[in-house]
A and B are shown apart, each in its own frame.
Chain A
Amino acid sequence: MNSREKILSAVIANQPELVPLPELSSFERNASGCSDKFVAMLKSVGGFFYYVSSYDEIINILLSVNGENKKIISTVTELTAYYSEEFLNNPQISNIHDIDVAVLKGRFGVAENGAIWLTDQEMRQRALPFICQHLAVILNADSIIPTMHEAYELISKVTYDFATFIAGPSKTADIEQSLVIGAHGPRSMTVFVMINDQ
């Protein structure tokens, strides 16, 4: 008997009688008042936040915060200045290891924890939102939902090979519980909430 068979037969011999799964519908919420809560939670997990109404506005903010000579990469086609199909198609580590700012679109934000859902379609390269020094995410104002329960309702309607929730910049408190922002991933996370998507 190989290990697979050994384990599976031990499981079937030892598992208790079947008990049913619980009903989860009572946890769902309506979406009213979500945006304010999202902003508050995003700030509490160390994120920065701007309401914007155009992509130009985003570019201006990025330039004013980061200065001129930074390697800014975007997977958002509307940000033409930072978008390069050729760059995004090159998966070499040498290509992406020194990115200063990555700008991506998020699918939706979760009000209860400030997390934003991104799939590999928005990332183009999975390492992108992790390896950059600073991360910026653009979110539509109407894509903020109350809790993780609604999140998985939405997620059930999309396909991905890899996807992640990101809530704020990379951080650690491993040294005496002192919070330090910028562990291995981005040192900052900025969220642009687009009020009138152009």
Chain B
Amino acid sequence: MENSTKDHAELAQDFNRDEDRVNWHDETLWFIRQKRDKTAHQIPEWEALREAASQIKNNVLSNLHNYLVLFEKNAVTNGIVVHWAADASEHNKIVHKLISEANVNRMVKSKSMLTEECGLNEYLAEHGIEVIDSDLGERIVQLAEEPPSHIVLPCIHKKKEEIGEIFHKHLGIEANISDPQFLTETARGHLREIFLTRKVALTGVNFAIAETGEFVVCTNEGNADMGAHLADVHIASMGIEKLIPERKHLGVFLRLLTRSATGQPITTYSSHFKKPRDGKKMHVILVDNGRTVQLGRKDFRNSLKCIRCAACMNTCPVYRRSGGHSYHTAVAGPIGSILAPNLDMKKYADLPFASTLCGSCSNVCPVKIDIHEQLYKWRQVLVKNGYAPAAKKVGMQLMTWTLSSPGFYHTVGKVGRLVMKHAPFAVNNKLNPWFKQRDMPYPPAESFNEWYAKNEGKTHR
């Protein structure tokens, strides 16, 4: 996926070749959006909670330096080893070093979108380290040799029959099994063996608390805990923006996170890791990888408030009908489309355009990121930096000339309507993407401007 040269529109077109599948994908995610609505509406203070969460995160971004220093100091006092990684490559090297120091060549890992962003699995594989993802959805896409298509539901693009096929091929079950209960039980057996035998476990981090030097990991499956509590070495990878000031702020975030994500009132497990077990090791890796650059972009910095709930993906009418892989980046959907151009403007220039700017994403965001406004602003930045397709530039210039001159505009409009009326083949052809699956509007005999001049007598000015 990462190496694909197709842009979002082309990948989305591929996805749309199977309309039944698009309907299924859309309805599955819409179901989650509805669950989110239902649970949010049970909390009368919901909007006040979003506002509080937004303000806490604004404070974090404005005081991040001090919170990082404070977190480090408290975590070290707790017996946690703190590492700093300027970029993806440094993060991966640190993880590799820690695995080597434990004298092992394999590791179990729970969900961490940061490690997807850093390409950790690929890096470790190149260095002879086996990584097994323990989140069920992640394990499924890992066996299928695909990246996750959704940050909370990694294999939401896969049908149960396909998952049965993957398990048949890799985990030795009989062919043609598609019962989710049976498939989950199969994965449980397979992964329990992994949990019991791995000496190193890596987890992500949902929140890290400056005040206490602890960090919180949320899962439904219990896979982060199974990995971390049974291993000798626990590595926790986190972006520097995951800091929150005080423990009491978790009250706000844990109320919002899972309700926004899946419509559950809370994840099954919200684990607070403060100190390693006796004789065991706990590491935290604080990763920048472009985040400080984003922090410096005034219009885009508040994308760093994201708590990775994926509500913006579930609500996005484009995401639901184009699939996570069409975004060709670790974090898909609306939030991914405002994060990715920060990492590579050229590679991700298409993503801010993969939206109708309908604004639903900003409405569901639990930390009130102005996602659709940032999509608009990224478009301006990308065009100014020369990442607009050439044809689009010419078209826009023509449109600008037309709309900048009232006389020219009315002439062009009249000619256009005449052409549509008397030579419809000029617009109704396969070169016109509108016409491929939609009819053109029927051109009226006269524009409103012409009608007004005739019927209302006096034209203004």
Selecting from B190-198, B377-385, B403-411, B438-446, the interface stretch reads B190-198
- Give B255-296 interface residues, CB cut-off 8 Å to A: 255, 262, 264-277, 286, 288, 292-293, 295-296
Question: B255–A93 contact, CB under 8 A?
Answer: no
Chain B contact-residue range equals: 35 or more
A125: B residues at CB distance < 8 A: 229
Is A171's CB under 8 angstroms from B286's CB?
no
Across the interface, name the chain A residue whose C-beta is closest to B28: A177
Q: Let me know if B221 and A151 touch, CB within 8 A.
A: no
Which residues 154-196 of B sit at the A interface, judged by CB distance below 8 A? 154-156, 158-160, 163, 180-181, 183-185, 188, 191-192, 195-196
Asked whether, in the complex, the Cβ of A168 is within 8 Å of the Cβ of B136, the reply is: no
A76 at the interface (CB under 8 A from B): no
Binds A, one of B13-21, B61-69, B95-103, B335-343: B61-69
Chain A contacts for B395, CB-based, 8 A: none
| Cβ–Cβ contact B248 & A24, under 8 A | yes
CB of A23 to closest CB in B, whole Å:
8
- A166 to B265 Cα, complex, angstroms: 12
Q: Tell me which residues across on chain A come within 8 A of B154, comparing CB atoms.
A: 174
User: Considering the chains assembled together, what is the distance between the CA atoms of A87 and B262 in angstroms?
Assistant: 38
Q: Write the chain B residue with the least CB distance to A149.
A: B251
Q: Is the CB–CB distance between B296 and A175 below 8 Å?
A: no
Q: A180 contacts B52, CB within 8 Å? A: no
A residues near B63, Cβ cutoff 8 Å: 15, 18
Q: Is residue A170 within 8 Å, beta carbon to beta carbon, of the partner chain?
A: yes
The smallest C-beta distance from A72 to any residue of chain B, in angstroms, reads: 20
Known A-B contacts A15-B63, A168-B268, A177-B31; the reply to A7 vs B295 at CB < 8 A is no
User: Do the beta carbons of A182 and B185 come within 8 Å of each other?
Assistant: yes
Q: Which residue on B lies nearest to A94, using beta carbons?
A: B196
Question: Is the beta-carbon distance between A2 and B84 smaller than 8 angstroms?
Answer: yes
* Number of interface residues, chain A, beta carbon within 8 A: 71
A175→B248 contact, CB < 8 A: no
- CB pair A113–B265 under 8 Å, yes or no, is yes
Closest to A10 in B: B292
Nearest CB of B to A137, in Å: 13
Complex Cα spacing A6 to B290, Å: 12
B143 at the interface (CB under 8 A from A): no
Among the 9-residue stretches B43-51, B324-332, B350-358, B412-420, the one with 4 or more Cβ atoms under 8 Å from chain A is B43-51
A97 at the interface (CB under 8 A from B): yes
**What are 7 A-B residue pairs whose CB atoms fall within 8 Å in the complex?**
A7-B286, A11-B64, A164-B225, A167-B267, A172-B184, A178-B160, A185-B226
* Extra inter-chain contacts (17) besides given A8-B65, A161-B274, A166-B269, CB under 8 Å: A8-B69, A10-B295, A21-B56, A21-B59, A148-B251, A148-B254, A151-B251, A152-B250, A162-B272, A167-B269, A170-B220, A171-B220, A173-B153, A173-B220, A174-B184, A175-B180, A185-B221
Top 5 closest pairs, chain A to chain B, by CB: A185-B222, A14-B296, A113-B265, A174-B137, A183-B221
